[in-house]
Amino acid sequence: MPTQIVMLGTGTPYPDPDRSGPATAIVVDGTPYLIDFGPGVIRRAAAAYQNGVTAIGRCAVNIKTAFLTHLHSDHTMGYPDLIFTPWMMGRNEPLDVYGPPGLQAMTENIMKAWRIDIDARAQRMPHATAYRVNVHEIAPGVVYRDRNITVTAFPVHHHEIEDCFGFRFETPARVVVISGDTTPTQAIIDHGRGCNVLIHEAYSLASYDHVSSVWQEFRRSHHTSSKELAEIAALLNPGLLVLYHRSDAGSAETGSNAEAKVIEEIRQFYNGKVVTGHDLDVF
């Protein structure tokens, strides 16, 4: 069973036109599984389909199972789009979404906000109830299993967000670990052992000294520095380390120069293969 990793969105809250909000698809034997649904997720999924990732389905109609790391807006603003657009384009069954406590309330409020739209469209849709979402509020442990994949959620630390998860995806071909937003935690190391691909957020130390003390404290309490990530990667030694959600909040540095610096910082302490993920990259 082949396993593809498709970076649908690698951005942050900063509205970078080249990076949609956090969203990653793992495709196993033709079945897509989505992690996070930041702004732009469905249009990026449509672009991936046009680029040859046909398992996602035209207009993302094949995305029927999704996982959410946490409830921050930059990871969830594409949720209504994920619910309604593929339904309008032909998705024939409800979504199943697995995420932290609070996801049920978020989903119910989306349904209330779009009730006029739902009632109008459902009258002429061939799959009138496929807009519905089966919400599964999760705790650490195995949260999903089918013939393709076993998904384990583990707690990570993102300061004031009490329920925040990383995920370990085990397929017949690969083990993929996604950090979500987090400071360094023992859970990343415990659940990252033996992974083929580690997808992890990071911020650059090069810009750390050039931001205010407020932003410095924010980075330390919410995210993982390049040096800290290098130390984690050195312990886990994944076949591939993919950086995403580069959290250089408060910094003026953007683009390829900032990317090169964070890669350089990691390579000072880690000799394995490391790349910066871009939207629509496939690994």
Q: What is the pLDDT of residues 112-161, one digit of tens each?
A: 999 999 999 988 888 889 999 999 999 999 999 999 999 999 999 888 88
**Are 39 and 95 within 8 A, CB to CB?**
no
Q: What angle do CA 252, 249, 12 make, to 5 degrees?
A: 110
Residue 124: partners with Cβ closer than 8 Å, 6 or more residues away: none
Task: Identify the residue whose tokens are 């000294």.
Answer: 209
173 belongs to a structural domain: yes
* The residue count for the chain: 283
**Are 36 and 17 within 8 A, CB to CB?**
no
Closest CA to 277 of 176, 182, 205, 166: 176
Q: Report the C-alpha gap between 168 and 179 in whole angstroms.
A: 9
Closest CA to 36 of 107, 97, 91: 97
**Are 60 and 82 within 8 A, CB to CB?**
yes
How many domains, the chain? Answer: 1
Mean pLDDT, the chain, rounded, equals 93
Q: What is the pLDDT of residues 162-198, one digit of tens each?
A: 899 999 999 999 999 999 999 899 999 999 999 999 9
For residue 52, give the CATH number of its domain: 3.60.15.10
pLDDT score, position 214: 83
Q: What is the pLDDT of residues 32-61, one digit of tens each?
A: 999 999 999 999 999 999 999 999 999 999
Question: Is residue 66 scored above 90 in pLDDT?
Answer: yes
236 belongs to a structural domain: yes
Spatial strand order in the sheet of 141-145: 141-145, 150-155, 165-170, 175-178, 197-202, 240-246, 274-276
34 belongs to a structural domain: yes
Pairing of strands 175-178, 197-202: parallel
282 belongs to a structural domain: no
Q: Report the C-alpha gap between 254 and 140 in whole angstroms.
A: 35
State the amino acid at position 106 in one-letter form: M
State the amino acid at position 85 in one-letter form: T
191 belongs to a structural domain: yes
Question: Is residue 1 scored above 90 in pLDDT?
Answer: no
Q: What pLDDT band is residue 4 in, cutting at 50, 70 and 90?
A: very high
| Tokens, residue 185 | 């935690």
Q: Report the C-alpha gap between 23 and 45 in whole angstroms.
A: 9
31 belongs to a structural domain: yes
Dihedral (CA of 153, 215, 242, 67) sign: positive
Radius of gyration of the chain (CA): 18
283 belongs to a structural domain: no
- In terms of residue numbers, what domain contains 157? 3-276
For residue 20, the 8-state DSSP code is: P
125 belongs to a structural domain: yes
